[in-house]
Amino acid sequence: MTQRGSLTVVGTGFRASGQITHETQSAIDQADKLFHLVQDIVTHHWLEERNPTAETLVNSYRHGRPRRETYEEIVERMLAPVRAGKRVCTAFYGHPGVFVMPAHEAIRRARAEGFPAEMLPGISAEDCLVAELGFDPGQGGCQSFEATDFLIRRRRFDPTSHLVLWQIGAIGVADFRPGDYWNPEGVAILARELAAIYGAAHEVEIYEAPPYAICPPKRHRCRLDRLAEAPVTLASTLYVAPLPNRADDAPMSLALGMRAEAD
C-alpha cells in the first residue's frame, strides 16, 4: 500500500534546541523528509544529527528578492515531498505560527489537497519577552502588532495596555537585504508617532531573545525621543509600557456585582 504524504510544522523555540518539546522531537525523528529554518548553528547541527534528510530553507532567500516570492518557494519546497507520499516535518525557530506565513500557507494547501497537516506549538519570542521583561499580559491586557502594519494601517490601540511591536528593524521593507538593520528611518517615524500619544519622555524597551541559554537577553531602555538612536537589529522587538490605567466604569462594575471593588 502506497504511503500517504503528510505535513507537520513544528517550532524549535529560541534557545539552541533547549526549548524543543518531546512532541516536536518525535515529529522531527519520524519524518521521511525534514526541512528547517533556524537562527543558530547549534540547532542547525542538532536537527541534522536527529534526521539525516534535514535540508535548510535559508537558501530560498536572496538579496533583493521580494519576501513573498521567497515564501512561495518555501511553501512549494515543503509540499513537493508531501505530494510524493512522504511524511514531511518542517522546523522553524520560535513558534511556527508566529510571523511564519509559509507555515500557515503550506498547511492550508496541504489540507485543501487532501493531505493530513498540523502545527505543533513552540516557545515564541513573545513568551521569552514576557518572562524576561517581567510584565503580565493579563494585567491590563496586551496588544501585539507588526510594526509596519501598525503604522500604515493606523491600528487602533489602547495606550493604557501593554504594547508589543515586532520587526521594528525592517519597517516598510518588502524584500530581503544584507545586514542587521534595514530601515533606521522607519524607526524614527515610529518613534514620532508613539511620542505623539505617550509623550517624548515615555520610556520603552528594545528586546531580543537570546539564542543560547548562557547568553543574557539584549535589553535597551530609552525615551521615545531617543529611540531613533537606539541599537536596533532585525531581531529587535519594541515593548511600550502602558500609561496609567483609566478609572473603572462604575455602572458596569455595578452591573457585574462589583460594588465593593468599584467603591
Which pLDDT tens digit goes with each residue over 177-190? 877 888 999 999 99
Same domain for 106 and 12: yes
User: In percent, how much of the chain has pLDDT > 90?
Assistant: 79
> Among this protein's residues, is 67 annotated catalytic?
yes
pLDDT tens digits, 15-47? 877 889 999 999 999 999 999 999 889 999 999
198 is annotated as an active-site residue: no
The answer on 115 and 36 residing in a single domain is yes
Distance in angstroms (rounded) separating the CA atoms of residues 254 and 218 = 45
Give the CATH number for residue 70: 3.40.1010.10
Looking at residue 263, its pLDDT comes to: 40
Q: What would the mean pLDDT of 203-212 be, rounded to a whole number?
A: 90
Percent of the chain whose pLDDT exceeds 70: 97
The segment with the largest mean pLDDT, out of 10-19, 142-151, 242-251, is 142-151
Sign of CA dihedral 9, 15, 16, 21: negative
In a shared domain, residues 220 and 150: yes
Catalytic residue among 71, 198, 207, 239: 71
Global pTM reads: 0.85
Number of domains comprising the chain: 2
Q: Is 71 assigned a catalytic role? A: yes
Which CATH number covers residue 183? 3.30.950.10
Distance between CA 35 and CA 92 in Å, rounded?
9
Measured CA angle at 187 (ends 155, 212), to 5 deg = 100
Please check whether residues 171 and 89 belong to one and the same domain: no
* Whether pLDDT at 90 is above 60: yes
Q: Report yes or no on 17 lying in a domain.
A: yes
Query: Are 96 and 33 contacting, i.e. CB atoms less than 8 angstroms apart?
Result: no
Q: Which of 67, 109, 223, 226 is catalytic?
A: 67
Residue 262 has pLDDT above 50, yes or no: no
Beta strands in 15-66 (DSSP E): 33-37, 55-56
Tell me which of 93, 198, 207, 239 is the catalytic residue: 93
Instruction: Give the domain extent around 209.
Output: 125-240
The pLDDT of residue 1 is 55
- 154: in domain: yes
Question: Average pLDDT, stretch 73-89?
Answer: 98
What number is the average pLDDT over the span 59-75? 94
